[in-house]
Chains A and B, each alone.
Chain A
């Protein structure tokens, strides 16, 4: 430490340090994007190029062979459909149950309200693995194992979704609801015509979160579907492709499948991310 003690704000040391941090940030931003760029590039290589060492970065003759091949190996269309059904229905269900329960918790007073809400909070971050075995047995005992319904139904209500909706609906002015009641609107109408539009950004964020999570989920569908490959979502089909090729990895093939599987959540992210940012800011996660 020299006589001055602390670094001056605009001294050479501070500027150098700041420049270094900016460079590091840019480097990590590039690193964030690099694997994904590499994924897409690899999916366009010919098998020979994909196996080459040292690796070829840019395919010389971009080809869609890998996409054709991956479609021959796993039923891409069917897997995609399964993923869409699982993520789509689960997301719709979560939005509906969260909106309704969040509304009740925020705007009604009823017996056991506090107790029910406390249970919701307490189990919000329950590790899914803890309930995996009993849940699997339960789904089996009601005859839903190996089916898409078995994957979907247990996830139709979500504690985090209820919590999020309750927080946001609590901020909707009561006067708005009372005015609608005086006009003779039913409670259902109030919920869907007044409350839902008022919390639309939070709903959009929850939709993004739920869809991405359930599109990508792995352990639960793998457990329920138990080898019924017809019902595999794309993520599981892809992971099986990986294990087939564990000895001699055909990079292009796996990357073609991965590129396809990334598209739906990515498109949703591009469209809904601004709501996500807004909701995080407004949720209280970052303070008042």
Chain B
């Protein structure tokens, strides 16, 4: 990151007033609509709630309730799905994205065009992505008939209703949605490596696969760091795609449930008895999610920082 520190400028009253004026709009909006709700969310997780009303202080009781039945099955299931989602995106999206970026880097011709094609689905709303793929994957739909005509499938295509496959279908759709990002970031990263490094390796007789693995990869750590962190944050925030394609219950039989869809059901009364909200439990889950994201994000950034090759 470019962190050229601002030089000590002459301190003038005029400049101080400007600084305050410039920071103020963002500060007011941010404190009111981000910091305050965050604080009250964290605080509220320590209370018992009735509907949308805060009742007595219960300490860590909500947190304890999360880890016992009936919540534990849902919590552990959702957490596992988020972990699978993260790993799936790392391989399907970022791993393939790296290979594609390298191929584009080697070839150069048509790079800009293909980058745009890969990036194109990212401008779609998750609602449209979900609707589109649900229609494509429906029994009697386009994908089924395509697989039929290629002879790859007989009978009905029911993967979205199949609890072993549904989660992986969603992960693949998500990977398709954001494939352009790793391609873009890795292509940019590869171009920033000194060309001499590649030439030297080639003269030593290293093949393309070897150059990618031993020469390029260590120098791509900043790109890998950005992508891993973004992937982690996005996968643990996964909601829209599940909600649109599989409903808020994460159908079939909670096989595609995530931490955020579980949160949503708790907060808006779709868990257990319909219409009964459990805000305390939801806020406890939200607090844990916030802590998890913050701790792991900082951990990931530190981990990669130590592995960055410096010149």
Contact = CB atoms under 8 A, between A and B. Distances in A.
B185 A6 contact: no
A176 interface: no
B131 A238 contact: yes
Interface in B95-109: 96, 99-100, 103-104
B299 to A, nearest CB: 13
B29 A127 contact: no
A180 to B, nearest CB: 13
Nearest to A101: B26
A52 B288 CA distance: 48
Interface of A: 6-9, 14, 17-18, 21-22, 25, 28-29, 31-33, 35-36, 38-39, 42, 53-55, 57, 96-98, 100-101, 103-110, 116, 119-120, 122-123, 125-135, 137-138, 153-157, 159, 162, 167, 170-171, 174, 178, 187-188, 191, 212, 215-216, 218-219, 235-236, 238-239, 242, 249, 251, 254-255, 258, 261-262, 265-266, 268-269, 273, 277, 280-281, 283-288
Contacts of A284: 1-2, 222
B185 A212 contact: no
B293 A125 contact: yes
A41 B33 CA distance: 42
A28 B185 CA distance: 18
A219 B239 CA distance: 9
Given A127-B289, A286-B186, 14 more contacts: A35-B121, A55-B142, A104-B22, A126-B38, A126-B293, A127-B293, A129-B237, A215-B125, A218-B126, A238-B128, A255-B135, A266-B123, A287-B192, A288-B192
A17 B308 CA distance: 30
A252 to B, nearest CB: 10
A288 to B, nearest CB: 8
Most buried by B among A116, A157, A167: A157
Chain B at the A interface: SS class: helix
B257 to A, nearest CB: 14
Interface string B195-223: 00000001001111110000000011111
Contacts of B50: none
Nearest to B44: A134
B74 to A, nearest CB: 16
Given A97-B25, A131-B38, A218-B125, A32 B176 contact: yes
Contact of B103 (A21, A103, A110, A133): A21
B4 A170 contact: yes
Interface centre among B11, B123, B237, B283 (most CB of A within 10 A): B123
Contacts of B100: 25, 28
A107 B297 CA distance: 28
Contacts of B150: none
Given A216-B124, A235-B127, A104 B207 contact: no
B237 A219 contact: no
Nearest to B115: A277
A129 B30 contact: no
Instruction: Sort chain B's interface into a size bin.
Output: 35 or more
B131 A287 contact: no
B68 interface: no
Contact of A273 (B14, B119, B127): B119
Interface in B123-140: 123-128, 131-133, 135-136, 138, 140
Contact of B116 (A110, A135, A171, A273): A273
Nearest to B106: A18
A48 B115 CA distance: 37
B293 to A, nearest CB: 6
Given A154-B33, A174-B6, A238-B127, A133 B188 contact: no
21 contacts: A7-B207, A9-B205, A32-B121, A32-B179, A35-B132, A54-B145, A101-B23, A110-B16, A119-B35, A123-B38, A125-B293, A128-B237, A129-B264, A133-B41, A157-B26, A170-B2, A218-B126, A254-B131, A255-B135, A262-B123, A286-B223
B223 A106 contact: no
A288 B16 CA distance: 32
Contacts of A288: 2, 192, 222
Interface string B266-291: 01000000000001001100110110
B252 interface: no
